[in-house]
Amino acid sequence: MTQYGKKILYLAAAILLSLPVVSCRSTKSNTHTYRPYSERRNRGTAPSDNHPGSNNDNGKKPIPGGNGLVSDEWARLDVKLGRHDNKKLYKELKKWLGTPYAYAAHTCGEGTDCSGMVMEVYQEVYGIKVHRNSAKMLEENCRIIDLDDLKEGDLVFFITSGDGHVSHVGIYLKDNKFVHASSSRGVCVDDLRQNYYATHFHAAGRVTKR
DSSP per position, 4-45: HHHHHHHHHHHHHHHSPPPP-S----SS-----HHHH--S-P
- Selecting among 108, 180, 188, 202, the annotated active-site residue is 180
Q: Is 131 a catalytic residue?
A: no
Q: How far apart are CA 106 and CA 46, in angstroms?
A: 31
| Residue 179 β-bridge partners | 171, 189
- Selecting among 108, 114, 142, 188, the annotated active-site residue is 114
Dihedral of CA 24/29/33/39: which sign? positive
- Selecting among 106, 108, 142, 168, the annotated active-site residue is 168
Q: Is 142 a catalytic residue?
A: no
CB-based burial of residue 89 (10 Å sphere; 0-12 exposed, 13-18 middle, 19+ buried)?
A: buried
Burial 117-131 (b: 16+ CB within 10 A, else e): bbbbbbebbeeeebb
Q: Is 114 a catalytic residue?
A: yes
Longest Cα–Cα distance in the chain = 95
Active-site residues, by number, are 114, 168, 180
